[in-house]
Amino acid sequence: MSTDDTYSMQDVAGPVLRFSGVGMRYGRSPEVLKDINFELPAGSFHFLTGASGAGKSSLLKLIYMAERASRGRIDMFGRDIDQIAATDRPFLRRRIGVVFQEFRLLDHLNAFDNCALPLRISGGRPDKYRADVAELLSWVGLKSRMHALPATLSGGEKQRLAIARAVVGRPDILLADEPTGNVDQGHALRILRLFVELNRLGTTVLIATHDEDLVARSGQPVLHLDNGRMIHYGRGGAA
């Protein structure tokens, strides 16, 4: 069995993600997350809401393993992530698509190559993925900007490109940190439809947002953070 196969979704029994008594602090500062308990079933769709500073971005960082919890336990794909060897973590991260607030595009690559980067890193051949990448970029409204460099793109175009890159590999988990913050309402709804369609194909989706209208339109369950504590874990109406 290959290292990648070790994390096959077929082996997962129960939730794809579970937080149990998780706390997190930066250095010696007070905890930014306190006693967090929740789980995401495989194939579920949730919003993560809360005021600025409530801990939304910190919680996402724990999931994609950019930070480590100070206490408690996080299980992903049925495994305690603290027990996963450092050499295996890159394979696990490939299963997670992330839309960052700051985009994190590579300035020397055009829009097409930025979007295709996850496929290229995983060993895909350009002749196999070229049509899919072009179709996805067209869907997010970047058909005419495929060969443009990030420096020439608007903030909204960069946001849509970052989203396309995060979903192009059909990840098992998609995390999005304020994915509609730089787009108008029309594009926000289009992005939501893209996330919903990806979810229908089996991806577990977690979107951190301040956009109450987007949450209301979706009708999806909400995880709500207040001052580092999860005070709501259910459907709608928390934000």
Domains of the chain, by residue range, sit at 43-66+88-235
The sheet carrying 204-208 orders its strands as 96-99, 173-177, 204-208, 45-49, 221-226, 229-235
**What is the C-alpha to C-alpha distance for residues 45 and 53, in angstroms, rounded to an integer?**
23
Q: Tokens 């350009």, residue?
A: 126
**What is the C-alpha to C-alpha distance for residues 35 and 222, in angstroms, rounded to an integer?**
18
What pLDDT is attached to residue 2?
Answer: 37
Closest CA to 63 of 116, 102, 99: 99
**pLDDT beneath 50: ranges in the chain:** 1-12, 236-239
Helix (H, G, I), strand (E, B) or coil at 138: helix
Q: pLDDT for 191-225, tens place per residue?
A: 888 899 889 989 999 999 988 888 988 889 999 99
What pLDDT is attached to residue 235?
Answer: 56
**What is the C-alpha to C-alpha distance for residues 229 and 226, in angstroms, rounded to an integer?**
5
Helix 155-167 crosses helix 126-139 at what angle (to 10 degrees)? Answer: 130
What pLDDT is attached to residue 211?
Answer: 86
**Which phi-psi region, left, alpha or beta, contains residue 92 (left: φ > 0; alpha: ψ -120 to 50)?**
alpha
What pLDDT is attached to residue 13?
Answer: 54
Supply the Cα-derived Rg of the chain in whole angstroms: 18
Q: Which fold has domain 43-66+88-235?
A: Rossmann fold (3.40.50)
What pLDDT is attached to residue 237?
Answer: 42
**What is the C-alpha to C-alpha distance for residues 145 and 172, in angstroms, rounded to an integer?**
28
**What is the C-alpha to C-alpha distance for residues 58 and 26, in angstroms, rounded to an integer?**
10
